[in-house]
Amino acid sequence: MGLKIWLNDGLVDEAEAKVSVFDHGLLYGDGVFEGIRVYDGKIFELEAHINRLYASAGAIRLTIHKDKQTLINNTHATVKANNIADGYIRLVVTRGIGTLGLNPLICKKGQIIIIADTIQLYPPELYENGLKVISASTIRNHPLSLNPQIKSLNYLNNIIAKIEALDNDMLEAIMYNHEGYVAEATGDNVFAVRDGIIITPPTSAGSLEGITRRAVIKLARENSYEVIEQNLTRYDLYAAEEIFLTGTAAEVIGVVEIDGRRIGAGRPGAITKELLEKLEEYARS
Active-site residue list: 151
Helices of type H across 178-269: 211-222, 234-238
Q: Which of 56, 78, 212, 272 binds ligand PMP (CB under 6 A)?
A: 212
The residues near 45 (Cβ < 8 Å, ≥ 6 apart) are 36, 211, 215
Q: Confirm or reject binding of residue 208 to ligand PMP (CB under 6 A).
A: yes
Q: Confirm or reject binding of residue 75 to ligand PMP (CB under 6 A).
A: no
Q: Confirm or reject binding of residue 30 to ligand PMP (CB under 6 A).
A: no
Q: Which of 26, 35, 230, 283 binds ligand PMP (CB under 6 A)?
A: 35
Tell the smallest beta-carbon distance from residue 71 to ligand PMP (Å): 17
Q: How far is CA 261 from CA 35, 133, 174, 240, in A?
A: 32, 10, 14, 10
Q: How far is CA 55 from CA 51, 144, 174, 225, 258, in A?
A: 6, 17, 25, 30, 33
Q: Confirm or reject binding of residue 201 to ligand PMP (CB under 6 A).
A: no
Of 216 and 263, which CB lies nearer to ligand PMP in the complex structure?
216
As a whole number of angstroms, the distance between CA 85 and CA 43 comes to 9
Tell the smallest beta-carbon distance from residue 20 to ligand PMP (Å): 26
Q: Count how many Cα atoms sit within 13 Å of the Cα of residue 37 in the half-sphere of its side chain.
A: 20
Stretch 153-172 residues interacting with ligand PMP (CB under 6 A): 158
- In 3D, which of 11, 249, 30, 276 has the Cα closest to residue 121? 249
Q: Which stretch binds ligand PMP (CB under 6 A): 91-99, 117-125, 204-212, 218-226?
A: 204-212
Question: What DSSP string runs through 5-27?
Answer: EEETTEEEEGGG----TTBHHHH
Please check whether residue 138 is in contact with residue 161, taking contact to mean a CB–CB distance below 8 angstroms: yes
Q: Confirm or reject binding of residue 269 to ligand PMP (CB under 6 A).
A: no
Tell the smallest beta-carbon distance from residue 158 to ligand PMP (Å): 5
Of 111 and 158, which CB lies nearer to ligand PMP in the complex structure?
158
Of 8 and 154, which CB lies nearer to ligand PMP in the complex structure?
154
Q: Confirm or reject binding of residue 87 to ligand PMP (CB under 6 A).
A: no
As a whole number of angstroms, the distance between CA 238 and CA 259 comes to 9
Tell the smallest beta-carbon distance from residue 119 to ligand PMP (Å): 12
Tell the smallest beta-carbon distance from residue 8 to ligand PMP (Å): 24
Stretch 169-198 residues interacting with ligand PMP (CB under 6 A): 184, 187-189
Chain residues that interact with ligand PMP, rule: CB under 6 A:
35, 158, 184, 187-189, 207-208, 210-213, 246-248
